[in-house]
């Protein structure tokens, strides 16, 4: 055990020496940065058991979060970014002679502004503190239908659609590491955010009946101390020039 620890320290010594000995120029006044991340996810699940039940679930998601910024002072960055995402999910659930189908589609796009302060710890490695303001518009639609498998008769059918406008104030804390003079990677350690959203919801049934829920307001305060398992959240790549 002791031998393994000593051997690991020997291997990592050049890495820590390079961190300590190198100076970071890209975060000085007048420099610019382009960064962001992309998230693409596909999943498929089939489940079957002996009780005449069968379920299929397919989902797809995409996220893109680019941003640009400029250093107005040494280690002080101001910037703006975009947020684009979409998600879809298809589900089939059959039990005996009843088949339930649902299709969920959503998209969201928005923009935001941020201020980031860099705090070098050793060489090319350090932490950052980032207050930010974000605005987003989203739409989601869920189509549901139920059939009798034997007669193919429609038992129930409806469409549930929601339009949403949200406003977010947040504070992020993270780590960065420069991989040379032009590129860096970073990750969030946690964030504190306050969100306000207003949404309109409409449910339409196959019978022609419609339910409307207008101006639904919601507020939330969240503290996250771990990363989401998504590339644009877990690691972000930056280019400095």
Tell me the pTM: 0.73
Which among 156, 153, 147 is positioned nearest to 92, based on CA atoms? 147
List per-residue pLDDT tens for the chain, 241 residues long.
444 444 444 444 444 444 454 556 788 899 999 998 887 888 887 776 656 677 888 899 998 899 999 999 999 999 999 999 999 999 988 887 888 889 999 999 999 999 999 999 988 899 999 999 999 999 999 999 888 878 777 778 889 999 999 999 999 999 999 988 889 988 888 889 999 999 999 988 877 788 888 888 999 998 877 654 444 455 688 999 9
């Amino acid at each position: 055990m002791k031998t393994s620890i000593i051997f690991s320290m020997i291997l990592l010594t050049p890495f820590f020496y390079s961190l300590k000995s190198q100076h970071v120029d890209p975060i000085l006044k007048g420099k610019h940065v382009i960064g962001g991340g992309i998230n693409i996810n596909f999943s498929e699940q089939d489940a079957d058991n002996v009780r005449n039940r069968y379920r299929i679930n397919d989902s797809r998601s995409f996220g893109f979060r680019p941003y640009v910024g400029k250093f107005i002072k040494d280690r002080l960055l101001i910037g703006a970014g975009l947020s684009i995402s979409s998600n879809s999910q298809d589900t089939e659930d059959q039990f005996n002679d009843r088949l339930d189908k649902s299709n969920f589609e959503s998209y969201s796009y928005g923009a935001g502004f941020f201020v980031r302060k860099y705090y070098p710890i050793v060489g090319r490695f350090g932490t950052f503190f980032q207050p930010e303001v974000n605005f987003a518009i989203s739409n989601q639609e869920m189509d549901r239908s139920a059939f009798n498998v034997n007669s193919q008769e429609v038992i129930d059918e409806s469409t549930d659609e929601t339009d949403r406008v949200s406003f977010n104030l947040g504070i992020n804390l993270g780590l960065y590491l420069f991989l040379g003079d032009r590129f860096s990677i970073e990750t969030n350690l946690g964030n504190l955010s306050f969100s306000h959203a207003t949404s309109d919801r409409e449910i339409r049934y196959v019978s022609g009946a419609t339910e409307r829920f207008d101006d639904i307001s919601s507020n939330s305060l969240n503290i996250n101390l771990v990363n989401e398992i998504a590339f644009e959240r877990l690691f972000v790549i930056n280019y400095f020039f």
